[in-house]
A and B are shown apart, each in its own frame.
Chain A
Amino acid sequence: MSSRLVVLFVPFVIIAIFWWMARREAKLRHDPTHKSYFERNGMVLGIAFIALVALWSLFLVVMPYLYMVVESFHPTLRPVERGGPNDVLTIAQYKSFFETAAGVNRVHISAFVFSILASIAVTALNFAICYPLAFYMAQSGTPQKVRLLMLALIVPYWVNEILRAFSLRLLLATKGLINNVLVAAGLIDSPIDFLGINVGLYVGLSYAYLLVMIFPLYNAIESLDKNQIEAARDLGAPWWRIHKDVVIPYAKPGIASGCTMVFMLAAGSLAAPQFLGGPRTLWFTSVIYDFFFQNFNWARGSAYAFILLAACIALVMLMLRLFKVSLGETIK
């Protein structure tokens, strides 16, 4: 238990860091007109603001995350054994991701690699689908038309994720609409198993996160001065060069932000793989899900969750570095 208690000290460390930063800042600039935080907000409101933010950022964000990480360095134990002599720090859970008793842990590693690659593919697909519409809305649509399009984009997203996956299943299942129509039209003899070959999975993921891609793109392209495009056109640039050399470099932060969000959401998604993936397809979050609900192995589930998180963050950072976008620009 003791190693878990370490997490409880984290709030004090974080508060100390902020306090130290505040002191240093105050020392660095001598501004007589500057009012202290409590002078500005009054005692009651000032304390209320800090309490609310501390409650949220410490107890709902920082501490649970760290606690999960600490948990992942513990062995798998029955509840009675927790805190007992067997409850030591170990990296066994991480090791088990790479190797099992029978050798390399092929099942989980391939599930992991497949999830990451499929998420990258979905991100690229969504960018290709959304870019033209975002460009049209941002640069050539009239304000009224744009507002109508926005509304039309948002309305389908009030239907929840599960029902959206369900609706795609009705289309793509062997008894679904597309197969029924194709068979009735005589184009194919027997239904195609779209879900079995993962068409459902890709379509489902792409469908689920269209909106997440289109809004950052739209916001980024919208602020581009139309004259720049005119100028490029007057100088004789073909349409594809206008996009490659003018629009895309300008909209890079928006593109990065849309791609980051879609990638993270896709890699962490649960509904689309569960309901639209083929029977032999194993998504990494489903592996984690099973550790929690079928094997009740929380420590290993935590370790896998942390592996997923660390890999996603590392990949996003790498991509941002490659495309020379700073993280600050992305999460605006």
Chain B
Amino acid sequence: MKSAWVMKGMIGFYIFLFFAYLFGPLIVMSITAFNTPNYPQAYPFESFTLDWFVKLWNDRNMMEGLQNSIIIGIGVIAISVPAGLAASIIMSQIYHRARGLFYLVTISPLLTPGVIIGISTVIFWKDVMGVTDITKAIFYKGIILAVLGQSSFISAYCLLIFMARLTRFDRAQEEAALDLGASYPQVFWHILLPFLKPAVVSAVVIGFLSSFENYNTTTFAILADKTLVTVLAGQVRQGTTPALSALAVIIISISLIGAITYEVLKRREQARADAAQRRAKVAERAEVEAAPLPAPSSA
């Protein structure tokens, strides 16, 4: 009995250490955002200030980077989600023997270092877009290259998300729709796509976040333009300012709000499902008690 307590204590201590490692740096960074010294320091804490948030707001580079990041994120979603969806459907229909090769090709960007994806994107598209001066002037831009480079691996994330959902698709639904006279395209639009809706939502969210955060690929593909992350990298390289901590505080707050909202919604949904089940049980029992003899036909 005693050893079980020791074990429990040790596991608790280990989990505490793990999360201290995970959250410690972020908490320290958040504290430095509110401290006055020019060098971001958490200890000694001199006095409380919100100046760093004002500085951040006035940083033109950062704001321009943010804008570009959002544009790139939307572009990446516009390519990756349809591409991932199409690939997952082809994956489910493709001839058995070809599937392995197809899988390898589509998944390979996930196993390739992001640096290499960025480099190959720039080298390839520079020559393709540079065929004429006009196409070069129109298309050879950091934002476009960043969208192309990031889409190559974010499409693979989307593919995995859709594949995971598709394995739970009940083929009987499709068959029922076909028996009732639906055409195959109708099955896609009215049965399959609604079924995949949660996967579409998570593909959009994950796609946007990974595009927004990406550094390795973007730093090559972005050329002379900037995204929020490349601006940040430039500032960290030059030195450190608590304005960066202030940005981190904003991102962490948004994430926490998102996470808490998600958790609350999930709990509420769970509670609703539980309540419905309880009601169903009560109703069933009432019915059974009202009719002690087995009913000849239950409606």
**Chain A positions near chain B (C-beta within 8 angstroms):** 4, 7, 14, 17-18, 21-22, 24-26, 37, 39-42, 44-45, 48-50, 52-53, 55-57, 60-65, 67-68, 71, 129, 132-133, 136, 140, 147-149, 151-156, 158-171, 173, 175-177, 180-181, 184, 207, 210, 260-261, 264-265, 267-271, 274-275, 285, 288-289, 292, 298, 301-302, 305-306, 308-309, 312-313, 316, 328, 331
What chain A residues lie within 8 Å of B90 (beta carbons)? Answer: 49-50, 53
Q: What are the 3 closest A-B residue pairs judged by CB atoms, nearest first?
A: A268-B113, A64-B120, A158-B255
Closest to A1 in B: B127
B113 touches A159 (CB 8 A): no
Chain A: which residue is nearest B83 at the CB level? A56
The answer on a CB contact under 8 Å between A264 and B95 is no
Is B229 close to A, CB under 8 A?
A: yes
**Which of B23, B41, B124, B247 contacts A64 (CB under 8 A)?**
B124
Interface residues of B (CB under 8 A from A): 11, 14-15, 18-19, 21-26, 28-29, 32, 39-44, 79, 82-83, 86-87, 89-90, 93, 95-98, 100-103, 105-117, 119-121, 123-125, 127, 148-149, 151-152, 155, 183-185, 188, 209, 212-213, 215-216, 219-220, 229, 232-233, 236-237, 240, 244-245, 247-248, 251-252, 254-256, 258-259, 262-263, 266
A269 CA / B124 CA spacing, docked (Å) = 22
Q: Is the CB of B151 within 8 A of A21?
A: no
| Chain B contacts for A14, CB-based, 8 A | 105
Contact B119 A305 (CB under 8 A): yes
Give CA–CA (A132, B124) in the complex, Å. 44
**Contacting pair A170 B229 (CB below 8 A):** no
How many Å lie between the Cα of A133 and that of B91 in the bound state? Answer: 34
Specify the chain A residue showing the minimal Cβ separation from B150. A60
Nearest A residue (CB) for B80:
A56
Contacts of B116 in A (CB 8 A): 65, 68, 268, 305-306, 308-309
The one of A50, A151, A268 that contacts B114, using a Cβ cutoff of 8 Å: A268
Query: Are B29 and A68 touching (Cβ within 8 A)?
Result: no
- Number of CB contacts from chain A to chain B under 8 A: 265
Supply 13 A–B pairs (Cβ within 8 Å), ascending by A.
A55-B83, A64-B121, A129-B21, A132-B14, A160-B213, A163-B232, A163-B251, A166-B232, A171-B28, A177-B28, A184-B43, A264-B111, A301-B119
Asked whether A165 lies within 8 Å of B236 as measured between CB atoms, the reply is: yes
- The CA-CA distance from A129 to B17 in the complex, in Å, is 10
B216 touches A171 (CB 8 A): no
